[in-house]
Chains A and B, each alone.
Chain A
Amino acid sequence: MNADKRGLIISAFVCVGLRPNKFCAQVLVVNKSFWLFIAGLGLLLAVLATLWNESHQPWREWIARYNSQNDVTPVQIEIRTLVPTQTGKPELCVTCHVGIEDISASHPAETFGCIVCHGGEPLALDPNRAHATMRGGRNPSVLDVATQSCGQPNCHGGYADPEQNHVDRVLKSVQATYAGGIAHVRFSFGAQKSPTALFGNRAVSDATQVLPDKALRALEMFPTNPVSGTVDAKMVACLNGGCHLWTTPAKPQMYSYRSAGCAACHYVYADDGLYRGKDATIAKSNPGHGVTHQLTTAIPFLQCNHCHNRGNYDLRTMQFDLRDDLPPLARPISEQMPPEGRRLIEYYQPIGDFTKCEIELNCVDCHTAQEAMGDGHIYGSKKEAQYIQCQTCHGTRTSKPQVATIKDANELALRQARINGHSDFLKVGDQVMATARGELLWSIKQIAPNKFVQMDKVSGKMYNVPLVQGSKCTQNGQDQTSDYCHECHKIVR
């Protein structure tokens, strides 16, 4: 055997990791036909592997999985391009997320696309690459990035009228700062001398020249690394555990599945946290997803209940004690969503008293945008931020509720009705109820002198709103805050 052949054999054996010996050398008969065969085979295998790889791209698998769902019309396995009219730039997200729900009627995908809110790479189809630069991960409305997504200029931020800068307002609201909870616990444990709030989840300040009654000038950021053993150290765990809009629950379980930021309220979760939409990339059996990929202003009471009404804080142990009387979860979504009759027993705290409207209407029917998302000022507790009372709608023995006239088509109340999907309920010239701070309650309108109807924002059901004036109520007008009303009007369980 000459040196050339030896060289070829050595290279062959180096490749297969064997040491050359006589036997192997004989097996690998060195001739041209053998090497031609090996080379041709190598190339052929490389080509076949490439073709296999190309036909097993992740996006193909996701579309196949979408098609395998039994309630969808199968689509072709191809790359889908969405060119939102707002940006005019192609986005390929819907290739894998085929069938995903439009986020809302006000934000159709064909206009906005996905990137304007979510960020991410419009032209990538590999999941890691496509999602690498997403804003806020799965949820672009988390408060860390909400000013760049929901609150970006010309969306829900950047306006001269603070009423329209929802994200800025929410950042200062008690739901985000959690100022009341922090102050209350620190005061109870003697960590601060007065119950006035000093800290919030993040530092916030209000530059308004004249602050409204009860509003605070600023909150400091709650210390992230307090001295261990102090009440502050214990509270860090509580604050990270998800009792405000900055985070989601650390250990989500049934009834507490929810999102963070704007989506905490506007992105409805089922009690079991399971997704029920068409996007095959969202696991149907993995809790922690909204019912569908949709935002709403018709927020059902169940959504509020994912934070509220679920249990009580125990100041002794610094733990949140979950209620043990909530109903079992294994039931269809239709029963989870409108459990009208069983609402009081199944969901509301047994220690509370509730009136008829509180168990028939939804929370958002009374708690207005300014109450829930704040009025742009900083308050030290929930009590100071909430101002809607029974008398806001029902009046007192001596006074009627305030009303206001819808003056023009651009008025907030009309816009709210339209976004809520009930533009036919209200028109210019109608008279609606107004709160003490002048916020219009678009869902309660006067249909005849002293006759009001209210539309349930979630179900669309109509209710008459009875007035105190002219009723059998004998309560003194000064003592007609909600606490008093509950004495007579509570529903017996």
Chain B
Amino acid sequence: MSLWRKEKSIIYALHPEKIPASGARLTYTFGLGGIAVLASLITLLTGVALTFYYVPTPSDAHNSILLIQDVVSFGALMRGLHYWGAQWMVVAVTLHLARVVFTGGYRPPREFNWLIGVALLVITLVWDFTGYVLRWDDGAYWAFLVGTNLLREIPAFGETIYRAIVGDVQIGANALLRFYGWHIFGLTVAGVFGVVYHLWRLRKDGGISRPLLDENETREFISRDELFFREFILSALISAALVFLTLIFPAPIGVVANLDAGVTDVRAPWIFLWVQNLLRVIPPLWAGIIAPMFVLALIIALPFLDRRGPGRAIWFARERWKPQVILAVIALVLIVLSVVEAVR
């Protein structure tokens, strides 16, 4: 087997020679970053498959999804994996962020990688939202309408930004085509670049964060082979779980969008339920633009609010209480707002 040389394979090259065992502990990272990458790969591959049937025009978008869902062989599987892969990605990215905060993984020299990570979170959310819009069913259409109209609330530049994003003075064929372009191409380029940069920077910053050594303690390592083996097992199990999830809960698709008919129940995608809740009580500019921007700014600032003291790579280290409490409060507020909106 001279064609295949393990040490020359791309998978081999992508993994570090060895990583500290304490950093590879499952209960330290829960593999969340890896799960996010796996979910994005599954979403990416199934997304490519879906482009062979999806038609990004108002008249055919919804029809083509019904075709994929019901008629194309294994179309429901592809779409289901795409949908659930995307949801897992959002969850994994968010939890990964929380893990990094609660274990202090953002500490120097990793602040810059934290920023890349936050950017990837934003990309993930926009990716998810643009994908939701492509369904062009009742729910998606109204979320699209509301989401884009929020842009108009931005003082002075609102209308310009709206047109730059929507490509028209109202949502329609142009907007759908643009969101399609962003979804399958623009965000994909940005996302893939971001992930590669994130991982490269991780290596440059000294690999996965780990606790400082006590005296007399020697560092244990796991080999590249061991790391890859664990990834392989976890990936296989998660992929299988995603398939079962897809079979039991098929990806949702509603009735075709109809601007004239109106709908009884308009619901934002679950990641933006909290915004929808705020929109009911405070002015759109504050609820839809300023509040999310404020949350984002807080998250970006977390590592810079706490730059001293020990507690690296230790869960819930008391010395780093400030960022942890801030994130916990943000999470609590968003979850409560979302749950209240979901059950109303």
Contact = CB atoms under 8 A, between A and B. Distances in A.
Interface of A: 2-4, 6-8, 10-11, 32, 35-36, 38-40, 42-43, 45-47, 49-50, 53-54, 57, 79, 92, 121-126, 129-130, 132-133
Given A10-B26, A40-B236, 4 more contacts: A46-B244, A79-B71, A92-B71, A121-B66
B340 interface: no
B50 to A, nearest CB: 15
B233 interface: yes
A43 B63 contact: no
B251 interface: no
B45 to A, nearest CB: 15
Nearest to B28: A7
B169 interface: no
B41 interface: no
Contacts of A47: 243
Contacts of B74: 50, 54
Nearest to B68: A123
A7 B25 contact: yes
Interface of B: 21-22, 24-27, 63-64, 66-67, 69-71, 73-74, 76-77, 220, 222, 229-230, 232-233, 236-237, 239-241, 243-244, 247, 253, 255-256
Given A39-B236, A42-B236, A49-B244, A123 B73 contact: no
Contacts of B237: 38-39, 42
A43 B236 CA distance: 6
Contacts of A49: 243-244, 247
A416 B171 CA distance: 48
The interface centre, meaning the residue of A32, A79, A124 with most chain B CB atoms within 10 A of its CB, is: A124
Nearest to A10: B27
B77 A129 contact: no
B67 A123 contact: yes
Contact of B26 (A8, A50, A129): A8
Contacts of A132: 255
Given A11-B26, A38-B237, A49-B243, A133 B70 contact: no
The interface centre, meaning the residue of A39, A47, A125, A130 with most chain B CB atoms within 10 A of its CB, is: A39
A41 to B, nearest CB: 9
A46 B21 contact: no
Nearest to A59: B70
Main secondary structure of the interface of B (DSSP, over half): helix
A3 B63 contact: no
A135 to B, nearest CB: 13
B66 A123 contact: yes
Contacts, number: 87
B232 A50 contact: no
B331 to A, nearest CB: 21
Contacts of B239: 43, 46
A86 B230 CA distance: 59
Contacts of B247: 49-50, 53
A484 B230 CA distance: 99
A419 B244 CA distance: 55
A177 to B, nearest CB: 27
A123 B69 CA distance: 10
A10 B27 CA distance: 9
The interface centre, meaning the residue of A4, A92, A126, A130 with most chain B CB atoms within 10 A of its CB, is: A4
Contact of B222 (A4, A42, A133): A4
A123 B26 contact: no
Given A7-B25, A7-B26, A129 B70 contact: yes
Contacts of A39: 232-233, 236-237, 240
A129 B66 contact: yes
B94 to A, nearest CB: 19
A46 B26 contact: no
B25 A124 contact: no
B233 A129 contact: no
B255 A133 contact: yes
B202 to A, nearest CB: 20
A46 B25 contact: no
B218 to A, nearest CB: 14
B27 A123 contact: no
Nearest to B75: A54
Given A3-B22, A39-B237, A46 B243 contact: yes
17 contacts: A3-B21, A7-B25, A8-B26, A10-B27, A11-B26, A39-B240, A43-B239, A43-B240, A46-B239, A46-B240, A47-B243, A50-B77, A54-B73, A123-B66, A125-B71, A126-B69, A132-B255
Given A39-B232, A39-B237, A46-B239, A3 B69 contact: no
The interface centre, meaning the residue of B25, B63, B236, B239 with most chain A CB atoms within 10 A of its CB, is: B236
B69 A124 contact: yes
A183 B152 CA distance: 56
Contacts of A2: 21, 220
A121 B25 contact: no
Nearest to A44: B240
Contacts of A92: 71
A129 B222 contact: no
B26 to A, nearest CB: 3
The 4 residue pairs across chains A and B that have the minimum distance between CB atoms: A7-B26, A39-B236, A42-B240, A46-B243
B78 to A, nearest CB: 11
A4 B24 CA distance: 7
A45 B77 contact: no
A92 B64 CA distance: 13
A89 B52 CA distance: 19
B25 A3 contact: yes
A121 B21 contact: no
Contacts of A122: 63
